[in-house]
Structure 1
Amino acid sequence: MELLFCGMRSHTSCIDGEQSLQFFRLATCGQDCQIKIWVVPLSHILGFELKYKSTLSGHCAPILACAFSHNGQLLVSGSVDKSVIVYDINTENILHTLTQHTRYVTTCAFAPNILLLATGSMDKTVNIWQFDLEMLCQARSTEDQLKPFTEDWSEDDVSTWLCTQELKDLVGVFKMNNIDGKELLNLTKESLADDLKIESLGLRSKVLRKIEELRTQVKTLSSEIPDEFICPITRELMQDPVIASDGYSYEKEAMENWISKKKRTSPMTNLVLPSVVLIPNRTLKMAIDRWLETHKK
């Protein structure tokens, strides 16, 4: 299968302008109606190393062209399905689907210094589009939509948080290292320098200050959780509470694991459970959801 591709060289810069990490991000597209994203870290010793990262979907016909924006924040693709799709490259979400062309979209390109997009089609037209970066940022998940507990954040949630903290230049580094909420809270000055290769002391200090703020919020929020919302097994806030035959409520997954490993005894009484049937505790679930809503920022 013949693939068309486009590449964009991007890097994470320190506050003082020194280069802390450099890598290529490569996008390939073709007859399978998908876009493949590849990361190519640069090493002065080892040279190039190609790593598959993810797959973007959205088109229903072969993709004929794709291109990165000048700042590396957007990826656009044109397809036989006559549409143009604009992706947020950090969250990999679809921001816009443009359907003004009436025949195959054969080419697309961004201007080198501003967010202007040109798309060409077999309908013999060239369309010019202008994007407002602030508007595009608002189309992403905002900080208000982040889960209250940082430990539950996905990699995309971490990317959103970085953008809200004016650290969007680090999104690529964090995504490449699969940093989710739990990993974020465990980062140290050593891991930022040695694992994430953030060389600037000032930038590392800023990231650590932001992470410490998150840790403080987590401790504060955890101390406020009502006891009845905490699973007796995991000692964490329940997300899917169920009632066991001993009359107590537990996190569903934790209780299922307990039953399979602990010979069907009650975690609270240590007596044999009359039944292994678990009943969803919808009343408790609604109470937990309401509590979470009131504790969102």
Structure 2
Amino acid sequence: MSVNFELIIDTPAFEVDMKSGLTTLQGISDATRTIAETLLTEKVPERLTSKSNVRTLLKKNFKGSYGQIFSLEMHDEEAKKKFRKIGGPAFSELMNYFLMESLYLEPDDLSEKAQQQLDSLGDTAEHLTAQLRQSIMINIHDIARKFGHNIQLNFRKNSTEKIEIAKFNEDTSSALEAETDKKPIFIEASIRRLNANTGNGRLQLRDGDNTIPFGFSMIYQYVQLPTKRKFSTNLHHNNGIPEEDWTYLTLEVLPVRIHGDRIIKYIVKGIYE
């Protein structure tokens, strides 16, 4: 059983630096296999080997920038059965989710089917995101960092219909240089999204316009129940009402920054009335 994808490197001609192009392709392959193995086995693979039952296979390339078609191959009956249950569209949604989360970007809204699959992973979802943030993301961005070429990953439903999964460029590569502050600060925030299994979500600062990812400084299962309830209660209260009627939580957080000052995530250490 195979599922087709395409990688497009935005170059002005049908050519690309071979070393960086291969590194980027390796990163895309590793990301696809790591996400797939996690979704199909509910375990994050520590190593990817040629003996795995889930592998990627290079296929034909195409003109118009540098385009390369490849497939995700499943050689195990249980893996095939699990993939059919998830389905191609939901699988592409989850690929988008994990790739965006690994770059601290807001993923697209998940369908009910994809959300159920994400919820079933529990803390494994956080482990997968952490795995992607390491050498995989560095390799994906190699051609963007060294040559400024944009990268696009698509899921191919068929020869003509495609679903965009993710884009990578010099801006998204800046997330690879993120650093967490050592000194906590206090913020007032409204909870806009919350994964009840992992504790990850997005918040909006008082007087802020955009949402920012957040997570907890400890494994979510160890967070005290009263704290969890305050987050979920705030989310439900503020949903569907005018912003002027929102209530806010006062949180002690560690900011995660890029370029010294831009905050791309908050690590929650505590909550205060």
The interval holding the TM-score normalised by the smaller chain is under 0.3
Give the structure with the higher percent helix: 2
TM-score by length of 2: 0.24
The one of the two structures with greater contact order (alpha-carbon pairs below 8 A, sep at least 6) is 2
- Say which one has the larger Rg: 1
Output the TM-score relative to the length of structure 1: 0.22
